[in-house]
A and B are shown apart, each in its own frame.
Chain A
Amino acid sequence: MKRDIIVIGGGAGGLAAAIAAKEENKDVLLIEREDRLGGILNQCIHNGFGLEVFKEEYTGPEYAEKFIEKARHLKIDYLLNTTVISLTKEEDEFILYTSSLAEGIQKYTSKAVIMTTGCYERTRGSIVIPGDRPKGVITAGSAQRYLNIDGYMVGKKVFILGSGDIGLIMARRMHLEGASVLGVAELMPYSNGLTRNIVQCLNDFDIPLYLSHTVTEVVADEKHRLTQITIQQVNERFEPIQGTEKKFDVDTLLLSIGLIPDVTLLDNLPVETDPLTKSVKINQACETSVPGLFIAGNSLQVHDLADNVSKESERAGHHAADYIDMKRTKEKGIPVQAGDHILYVTPQYIDFSWGNAEIICSFRSRKKIEKAALNVTQNGKTLIRKRLNFVVPAEMETFELNIEDIDGIGDIRVDLEVLS
């Protein structure tokens, strides 16, 4: 039986997308590889979720439950413990093969697919950390799962490399569970996590944050267990400065050095990739270069807040539902270019065949700018100019474009101007 829409991944993104599509009376199937819905929210037991979506503060599992309840209420079909092992498209039909203990290999087909597969953590391999490669160097998210879901502490003397939010949250969690958390080192001169997390997770417990510092040596004992790390201050070119070495005796180095969208399932589809987001390019409807293939949430771009994942995925769900009913010829669209001081921008195309769909753009700056102006231009014409204060890479910014302002030809440029 051919479905209207298959949603891959039942976390914050997939739940919101499936709900939105189902609310437009589409036949939706949600596929989740874990034994429960909610994805990574299940291990994010801290609060701070829901302020945008529900105007109330929840923990991760509570936030997930709000969506799971709604999905149940709408009687959305879903599969648990099921891994999608291949995704292809023939003519107008998407073909998915899944594997599971209960059902073995199964084939599913659909008119549209929404990818909400989240992201994975950057590991030690993706950056160079000099020294040994012992047990005890572990990504913060993995340690979080062990701690919050399974009830095991990966160590008792902890240092954290990278000030991403998961690292900050884990600093507090491990401290509360009795570990001594000796510090957090951040390569950049500013934190990569939300300021509130610096205050609530580090300052509350007197955990030092070493900005412009990195780990320059990892030492193991003969049993390949971590025993010591050295951190050093870095200069503007991120080179370690001699004489600034600080040594810490630790059994654990948690890595919170970034997240990368997980789009490996798209390997066999002709999607246009974006080296800036490390994901794929989309138009304003969250549609990739493959018609009917939508993507949202952290598999599209890594968000700071789950609320924004939900909102973006909800839009993708609505657009996928629209797609089922639309008669349209997909266009490549007007490119949206990341200009001065812009790390990336989404969507990367504005496709007029999507008619009057709202155009919500997201971007991150490349650096911390105290006073900036956002300039969005096309063919020398200003589409948006607005003042932004305290722009930092750690916090995603958004703006909205009006399709009526956009010319049918000519790239759109997004720049940040540094104001004095």
Chain B
Amino acid sequence: MYDFVIIGAGVIGTNIARELSRYQTKAIVLEKENDVANVQSLANSAIIHAGHNPEPGSLKARLNIWGNELYDELEKELDIPLLRSGAYVVAHNESEEKQLEHYLQISLQNKVPGAKIISAEEARITEPNLALSITKVLTLPTTKVTYPWEVAFACMENAMKNGVEFRKNALVTKLEQKDDHYLVTINNKDRIETKNIINATGVATDDIAALLDSSVEFKITPRKGEYFVLDKHMKGFVNHVLYPLPTEAGKGVLLTPQVHGEILVGPNSVFVEDKYRTDVSFEGLAYVKANAGLLAEGVPFHKIIRSFAGIRSTSNYHDFYIQESKEHKGFFHLGGIESPGLSAAPAIAKYLLSDVIGIDSLYPKNETFDPFRKKQPEFHSLSLAEKQHLIEAYPTYGNIICKCEQITEKEIVDAIHAPLGSHTIKGIKKRTRAGAGLCQGGYCEEKVMKLIARETGVSPLSIAYDSDDSSLFEEETKVEE
């Protein structure tokens, strides 16, 4: 019998798992995908917002500001990357300047540290490519950028170290209430028992809630956002996150420097029917291009290496819905966690446990909790002397597999064998960045495939790109039928 089943290993579910591991509970995270953070947490702007946007007094505002602070702690404890970029919200004319003043007031009410309006001239000192039409900017020095996938990965790794279990490819297909516990059915066959269920399933939160609850107070109305990624050689084109003024549809098309040096352009915001389809369109990407031009001069679109789309789990509840089910005690929903969900994630986890569940009165502290997780060395970022030193200890650091990102055999083999390791091409890419550079894996995918085959002892025929069903190859040639 589990104390807690957490459904969903996104940035929310994994933060909750880690917070739970501070207590003596038996907990498991169930993830329908073949890896942690494979959907919404993988495809977003990666920004830890300062908090200029959420309605003062809302849960969004409170958890955003708190979450932003908590990232400094996560950085120290979990060794996650954090780019302290700061942000500028830009205005182009008098009417926009008035709105900028409005968002300054919101920022002040939300107690966003250091928020103030400065002239475009002053902003251009640090941001020379700022669009010429910009007249004033709201500066938000506490805005940061992270690698959201790694936040979830690090939280899950650390939670596992502290006793939480993890199961991937585990789609919850049925929830049943028994006398004093729940029965969770996975993939229509396996059943596990638990006292509590935490529903952190992003766009599926309302569907999962409806597996038990007869009425659900929020409905997810998913919005799709499309992005371009500019090659890391463009690092420095913008140094701050650049925001337009927010609209009903969200924070608008942004320019966001990423922790690994790329620049993200986007997103647009389109309501969609299909929660799980993340296709890109000519129109969406054209919109993104046109709007990016309002932020900076000469956005280098010829340096695009990738386009993608992400889904945001916007809900009709308008604020974060972090509540216990009205019908089922011990069934907790985290609905409508859209932006600033990533920013708020560590605070959401703490809020859920303390304010909603009241964990302190239910479970004793885990005295052996170790908050620390150390990232494996990143070969490419080391000095020549450090590289040589590492290679002396582990010669396979000398074998460069991904040339664009300078990722070595040792890093890939470690990523395969880690406790939360992966045997897929995409899993290795997320863990090591092999294939994330200019050639997008054109050169190294084959080498990664061979390493996975060698290390796991399977035939290349059974190596998958992402999901278990997405094998790289259809068949071997020259094999007689």
- Asked whether any CB of chain A lies closer than 8 Å to the CB of B446, the reply is yes
A108 to chain B, nearest CB (A): 13
When C-beta atoms are compared, the residue in chain A nearest to B233 turns out to be A267
B1 partner residues in chain A, CB cutoff 8 A: none
The A116-148 residues at the B interface (CB cut-off 8 A) are 120-121, 123-126, 128-135, 139, 141-142, 145-147
B461 partner residues in chain A, CB cutoff 8 A: 152
Residue-wise, chain A 171-204 has the 8 Å CB interface mask toward B (1 for contact) of 0000001000000000000000000000000000
- Asked whether any CB of chain A lies closer than 8 Å to the CB of B179, the reply is no
Q: Which of A121, A133, A156, A240 has the most CB of B within 10 A?
A: A133
Identify which of A120, A128, A225 contacts B438 (C-beta below 8 A). Answer: A120
Asked whether A101 lies within 8 Å of B398 as measured between CB atoms, the reply is yes
A216 to B477, CA, bound (A): 31
Identify which of B229, B460, B469 contacts A152 (C-beta below 8 A). Answer: B460
A180 to B472, CA, bound (A): 18
- Asked whether any CB of chain B lies closer than 8 Å to the CB of A213, the reply is no
A153 partner residues in chain B, CB cutoff 8 A: 473-477
Asked whether B476 lies within 8 Å of A152 as measured between CB atoms, the reply is yes
Asked whether B280 lies within 8 Å of A125 as measured between CB atoms, the reply is no
When C-beta atoms are compared, the residue in chain A nearest to B404 turns out to be A264
Asked whether A264 lies within 8 Å of B438 as measured between CB atoms, the reply is yes
B180 to chain A, nearest CB (A): 36
A99 to B472, CA, bound (A): 29
Asked whether B474 lies within 8 Å of A156 as measured between CB atoms, the reply is yes
Asked whether B473 lies within 8 Å of A152 as measured between CB atoms, the reply is yes
B306 partner residues in chain A, CB cutoff 8 A: 123-125
What is the size, in residues, of chain A's interface with B at 8 Å between Cβ atoms? 54
Residue-wise, chain A 226-249 has the 8 Å CB interface mask toward B (1 for contact) of 000000000000001000000000
When C-beta atoms are compared, the residue in chain A nearest to B33 turns out to be A224
A222 to B398, CA, bound (A): 39
A177 to B445, CA, bound (A): 22
A275 to B438, CA, bound (A): 16
- Asked whether any CB of chain B lies closer than 8 Å to the CB of A380, the reply is no
- Asked whether any CB of chain B lies closer than 8 Å to the CB of A69, the reply is no
Q: Which of B395, B398, B440 has the most CB of A within 10 A?
A: B398
B391 partner residues in chain A, CB cutoff 8 A: 99, 104-105
B276 partner residues in chain A, CB cutoff 8 A: 222
A375 partner residues in chain B, CB cutoff 8 A: none
- Asked whether any CB of chain B lies closer than 8 Å to the CB of A58, the reply is no
A92 partner residues in chain B, CB cutoff 8 A: none
A404 partner residues in chain B, CB cutoff 8 A: none
Contacts A33-B403, A152-B460, A264-B404 given; does A101 touch B475 at CB 8 Å: no
Residue-wise, chain A 86-103 has the 8 Å CB interface mask toward B (1 for contact) of 100000000001011111
A147 partner residues in chain B, CB cutoff 8 A: 477
B53 to chain A, nearest CB (A): 29
When C-beta atoms are compared, the residue in chain A nearest to B425 turns out to be A135
B444 to chain A, nearest CB (A): 10
A214 to chain B, nearest CB (A): 10
Asked whether B384 lies within 8 Å of A223 as measured between CB atoms, the reply is no
A262 partner residues in chain B, CB cutoff 8 A: 438-439
- Asked whether any CB of chain A lies closer than 8 Å to the CB of B375, the reply is no
A145 partner residues in chain B, CB cutoff 8 A: 446
Asked whether B475 lies within 8 Å of A142 as measured between CB atoms, the reply is no
A115 to chain B, nearest CB (A): 14
Asked whether A105 lies within 8 Å of B387 as measured between CB atoms, the reply is yes
Identify which of A99, A128, A139, A225 contacts B307 (C-beta below 8 A). Answer: A128
Asked whether A132 lies within 8 Å of B474 as measured between CB atoms, the reply is no
Asked whether A133 lies within 8 Å of B280 as measured between CB atoms, the reply is yes
- Asked whether any CB of chain A lies closer than 8 Å to the CB of B304, the reply is yes
A240 to B281, CA, bound (A): 13
Considering the complex of A and B, which 10 residue pairs feature the smallest CB-CB distances, nearest first?
Answer: A125-B306, A135-B465, A104-B391, A83-B400, A152-B473, A135-B470, A223-B469, A120-B439, A101-B399, A123-B440
**Apart from A147-B477, A149-B446, A262-B438: 11 A-B pairs, beta carbons within 8 A:** A100-B399, A104-B398, A105-B384, A120-B442, A128-B280, A132-B279, A135-B464, A135-B466, A152-B461, A223-B467, A264-B404
